[in-house]
Structure 1
């Protein structure tokens, strides 16, 4: 028995650990080694002796016997275990494991108004000074990697300093640990006591928190699927307590604007006004934080703002890199694209984080105007781990990823369907003659420019649908859209012109529709009269009737050898070939179509330097970019290479079909690529390629 200073008799109680130690002694016939007790409860030798002394005093005061330590062995003497069992049934106490004690120590330090000192922690947990110091040392070690510091002062006790959102996420982890071991009630009790002191108002704060949540559910006509232990509700109380103490979560401007535009924020804002009546006055920062909790924030995703910033930056870089892979291109000004895209990725990340949908009024227009860029963006986003984004989000990304692309050439190919350049016309009569013959041949009214060969710049030629040269050009000036002609167009000149214009995407996008019309007409004519329908001139005459603005007429892409530049002969590599050999085999065939090309040598260098751009549109198919920039006779073409047993690419997956696509600039291959992706998305088509009978190659890439 013990007496207070006022002389009131009170019963001395054992804490949970001491009760457990006494229970262990009841089952140990020969006693328990001090070292074994230290190991089991993870406490110091001094704590064990402290517990023994407390147990001995308590047993003596209750007349139940005593315990002692002889030769480092703890033994019991004269204890009535049956009477002791009945006594324990009438009294309860609390024992904390090592993990529970350290987690709760962190919570007490962060969420207490009164100073938390070594003495107060010793008294709360019933442990020795050395044990408490060891817990503090471990806590400091745990906080340091998170950028948090454990500080102490003689009057204020211990406190944790650092980024507030990092601290909140750390507390969230500690609450989860305590809830898992059944200790959430201890935290709930502590929050109630502390908030009562902070507001000088003794009400049930957990129920107040539940009322706020119910009001939120009513305002938004939804349900908050909170944790069964009420941890989200406790985090709202943590927000109240930290906010009252002057510690606020500071969010970035983009995240604030995202949250403030929601009905959730308006609901929490109204509840915050009501909280003022009970002494809880919250800054706007904490209103935003509580909104984020109710929207379902994953508080353990990132432990600090810096981690979140790093993730957003990496996500932007991944999206750009994957767009380059899918589109088989390289951004010229990648820094500019990254800067522009980051401005959108951050709010997009927050919308995904909080489950907020975006509305883009231009989505339909963007899908129709930029179908290829939109499709490449969708594939790049999926490849970057962004999941299935909505059409509205993809439309926004399409615009930002197009920021470095020539707006005039984008989706129109690398050439404009309305402009033709004539080089080397000696006089206006010659120029007019060429112009009239071209219009008569294709039926399209072009805008004509004229230039002398000595004033030419190679990079300006890509902005024309067609370049007609009457003179021999320097070797360094070449391009897929250049045709050498005579003043009077020959049949060969016309065929070359038709080939160039058919590849122009503004014209080729109507190819399937025009071919469909011609087929309908041909079915109504006798066979001997149908030959006239096969002329290229008729094809271009029909093109004139389609309204440039009506993009809804664009039919689904169709892979054809002529229209999409897919080479007709599939080739095969022998069993046991590597992915490198498959790529070189495809490059070799592509190089054969261009004189003086160094494509194979270039691809070998790219492979060695690990700068290969490849994309896997389907499970067994890999598309590889083969740049032919500056090569004489450079052209857009795709060569299919089949491996009977498959080749393993650097991504670790097998590919049985490798498609090498030759590119001559950033855009000219997009029509082929777009049609290719659409065609490959049909499972039967992939199987057709795998089961085809290709031309065989040996290891050296020779037919």
Structure 2
């Protein structure tokens, strides 16, 4: 007689180990006690044929007594068959069910693995529990369809790949290769070797990208291309978001797959377009993020948005009161950015240089905030992408509530798209043109009311369809003010008699200049330069703000901390030195700490910034206190800081210029080291 594969494997184990616990056998082979007793009877029948010995159960262990070692060894090595472990068997069962061309029932699996019905039922119970754990998939069974899996296709594909990777032996992979070839033949009636075709696609891919990236496991990738074919032929395709498709379209991987698919189509082998995107993402690295579901990926992006906003608040020492709105706007942009960075296709931004110049501090804060997120995809974001994020932050910083009452003398309303990033750029251009002579409000088109046209001296429409809003004081422009737009602005302001105060004087100066220079002058640019000069108001100047003079120079207060100061002691010490409100600042800091709202930012390895907000205090002023610790203070992040900067703020924006100076001045570790060493001496 001949033993079945499982029985032969149990006998081989007994032959090598002489004694094995019953529980170990049951666990390893995933069988019931009844099946084990049946197998032992068959093993003993085989042993008794040539008087090789006997296997018995003693004290919950199976023990074999061998009477003819040489004869048994010779016969066991005759015609050996491979036996799948319970893990391999369950993986292959799942792959059979998801990659079948016809329905799969228990008898199909029972015959394929030569195991009992109870063993198959136990296997399927384990498979069901595992794949339904994510909540995205459901393991089903019906008389008409047999066993099948429904749910999110992206999740299913990733589990399929996991199961393929669980096949560690050549025998397991060989079984899968034959099974998928048979399924594809039944689905297409094409006798081509599909696995070889998949390997050709991969090799062509490597040629197309000029060996910039070599696939680490060509066999697994080849299997996954076959999986894509089988699943799509059965009507199941991967649905990628438009953002991800747009990012993929710009990759060399996508173009390579697209060309291969076009060649196959000419030979009568079709693949749906959705699967081209999927294969491109797979060849770029299907396991890049490790997410099993789109919802999981969305939660990840939401987390990035939250971290980014929190980081920006800590770095700039402010709080966004419209946080949910900003988070919503950033989510949609970060999702697209995530895919662009994931597939190496960062976008171009022709306004990057202008944005860096106009919003230098906010740009730097944005760069620091996104770098602090700590995700690999966000680690090396180029300036072009940071510039887009910067505009989102600027538009939420500058957006003001539009007053609904009387007209404001010298107020200009700027109306833009929903996120107002472009409108903010136009606001900056108009400010550069007119100086600080006017107040500016920025709103989205959806918030514009007809009565507002008469409440402002001028309404500037940015990137709004022509003719949608009309009026004598309305200027329509794109994202860049041209000379015609500038002239219309002048005409409107002159009609409002807002330029008349200095107009004659400016015109006289221009006439004198024209009479005394030989070359033509840029009259319009010079007009606005003179207008800004005569209309300039005493605006914000860091050197004129209380507590800002020589803020980083010798007059800045510097203290050396006493030895053995912990974090709480340091906070208290800083409060006492900064406070002019009878202890209220320390009470405020304690309250912030208790609610986990205290803002700190480790801007260099050995230096930390602590925000001491003084909004609402009568004797408030912007102050910067430098505290030096020779031994280092252990901060909440578990690391030491030798330089502690304590900053008081009086409102949302007045301290920006100071912070800009701080980050620039202490932007190098050598500065901090030199400072600490100088006080040690």
TM bucket (normalised to shorter chain) is 0.7 to 0.9
Q: Contact conserved, 2:559 with 2:628, CA < 8 A, in 1?
A: yes
Secondary structure of 1:230's match?
A: helix
**Residues 179-578 of structure 1 aligned to structure 2 (within 5 Å):** 179=168, 183-228=172-217, 230-276=219-265, 280-298=269-287, 301-385=290-374, 386-406=378-398, 407=424, 418-419=435-436, 446=533, 465-466=538-539, 500=541, 502-503=543-544, 562=550, 564=552, 568-578=556-566
Distance 1:34 1:571, change over 3 A: closer
Q: Contact conserved, 1:67 with 1:75, CA < 8 A, in 2?
A: no
Q: Contact conserved, 1:100 with 1:181, CA < 8 A, in 2?
A: no
Secondary structure of 2:292's match?
A: coil
How far apart are residue 336 of structure 1 and its match? 2.2
How far apart are residue 287 of structure 1 and its match? 1.2
Question: Comparing 127-136 with 223-232, which one deviates more in the overlay?
Answer: 223-232
Structure 2: gaps spanning 5 or more residues: 399-423, 439-500, 503-529
**Residues 94-173 of structure 1 aligned to structure 2 (within 5 Å):** 94-147=82-135, 148-173=137-162
Q: 2:603: which partner in 1?
A: 617
Distance 1:79 1:130, change over 3 A: farther
Is 1:674 aligned to 2:660, yes or no? yes
Distance 1:114 1:570, change over 3 A: same
Distance 1:299 1:194, change over 3 A: farther
Q: 1:528: which partner in 2?
A: none
Distance (Å, rounded) in 2 between the aligned partners of 1:55 and 1:279 = 53
Q: 1:635: which partner in 2?
A: 621
Distance 1:223 1:573, change over 3 A: closer
Distance (Å, rounded) in 1 between the aligned partners of 2:590 and 2:17 = 76
How far apart are residue 181 of structure 1 and its match? 8.6
Distance (Å, rounded) in 2 between the aligned partners of 1:85 and 1:685 = 77
Q: Contact conserved, 1:586 with 1:659, CA < 8 A, in 2?
A: no
Q: How many corresponding residue pairs? A: 560
Secondary structure of 2:661's match?
A: helix
Secondary structure of 1:626's match?
A: strand
Instruction: Report Cα offsets for 1:448-496 as digits up to 9, x if no partner.
Output: 59xxxxxxxxxxxxxx644xxxxxxxxxxxxxx6xxxxxxxxxxxxxxx
Secondary structure of 2:355's match?
A: helix
Q: Contact conserved, 1:409 with 1:415, CA < 8 A, in 2?
A: no
Q: 1:606: which partner in 2?
A: 592
Distance (Å, rounded) in 2 between the aligned partners of 1:409 and 1:300 = 38
Is 1:580 aligned to 2:556, yes or no? no
Secondary structure of 1:93's match?
A: coil
> TM-score normalized by structure 2?
0.74
Q: Contact conserved, 1:596 with 1:632, CA < 8 A, in 2?
A: no
Instruction: Report Cα offsets for 1:40-81 as digits up to 9, x if no partner.
Output: 544322222333455467678xx6558766677878799865
Instruction: Report Cα offsets for 1:85-118 as digits up to 9, x if no partner.
Output: 4445452311111222222222221112232222
Structure 1: gaps spanning 5 or more residues: 2-11, 422-430, 433-442, 450-463, 467-480, 482-499, 505-559, 696-703
Secondary structure of 2:596's match?
A: coil
Instruction: Report Cα offsets for 1:408-427 as digits up to 9, x if no partner.
Output: 99999x99994479xxxxxx
Distance (Å, rounded) in 2 between the aligned partners of 1:597 and 1:38 = 71
Distance (Å, rounded) in 1 between the aligned partners of 2:110 and 2:362 = 65
Q: Contact conserved, 1:417 with 1:465, CA < 8 A, in 2?
A: no
Distance (Å, rounded) in 1 between the aligned partners of 2:432 and 2:598 = 26
Q: Contact conserved, 1:603 with 1:626, CA < 8 A, in 2?
A: yes
Q: Contact conserved, 2:602 with 2:609, CA < 8 A, in 1?
A: yes
Distance (Å, rounded) in 1 between the aligned partners of 2:220 and 2:70 = 41
Distance 1:177 1:274, change over 3 A: same
Instruction: Report Cα offsets for 1:576-601 as digits up to 9, x if no partner.
Output: 32323322322333334xx7894343
Distance 1:276 1:47, change over 3 A: farther
How far apart are residue 355 of structure 1 and its match? 2.5
Q: Contact conserved, 2:630 with 2:642, CA < 8 A, in 1?
A: yes
Secondary structure of 2:395's match?
A: coil
How far apart are residue 37 of structure 1 and its match? 4.2
Distance 1:361 1:689, change over 3 A: same
**Residues 28-107 of structure 1 aligned to structure 2 (within 5 Å):** 37-38=25-26, 41-55=29-43, 64=50, 82-107=70-95
Distance 1:184 1:420, change over 3 A: same
How far apart are residue 163 of structure 1 and its match? 0.4
Q: Contact conserved, 2:3 with 2:42, CA < 8 A, in 1?
A: no
Instruction: Report Cα offsets for 1:611-666 as digits up to 9, x if no partner.
Output: 10110011221101122223334322211122333222222222222111111222
Instruction: Report Cα offsets for 1:236-285 as digits up to 9, x if no partner.
Output: 11111101111111111211222233343233223223334666432221
Q: 1:477: which partner in 2?
A: none
Q: Contact conserved, 1:35 with 1:45, CA < 8 A, in 2?
A: no
Equivalent residue in structure 2 for 1:685, among 657, 661, 671:
671
Q: Contact conserved, 2:437 with 2:532, CA < 8 A, in 1?
A: no
Distance (Å, rounded) in 2 between the aligned partners of 1:248 and 1:171 = 14
Secondary structure of 2:557's match?
A: coil
Q: 1:526: which partner in 2?
A: none
Q: 2:647: which partner in 1?
A: 661
Question: Comparing 254-263 with 67-76, which one deviates more in the overlay?
Answer: 67-76
> TM-score normalized by structure 1?
0.71
Equivalent residue in structure 2 for 1:589, among 577, 583, 592:
577
Task: Determine which structure has greater relative contact order: mean sequence separation of CA pairs < 8 Å that are 6+ residues apart, divided by chain length.
Answer: 1
Distance (Å, rounded) in 1 between the aligned partners of 2:335 and 2:177 = 35
Distance 1:502 1:277, change over 3 A: same
How far apart are residue 388 of structure 1 and its match? 2.3
Distance 1:246 1:417, change over 3 A: same
Distance (Å, rounded) in 2 between the aligned partners of 1:70 and 1:606 = 72
Secondary structure of 1:629's match?
A: coil
Q: 2:630: which partner in 1?
A: 644
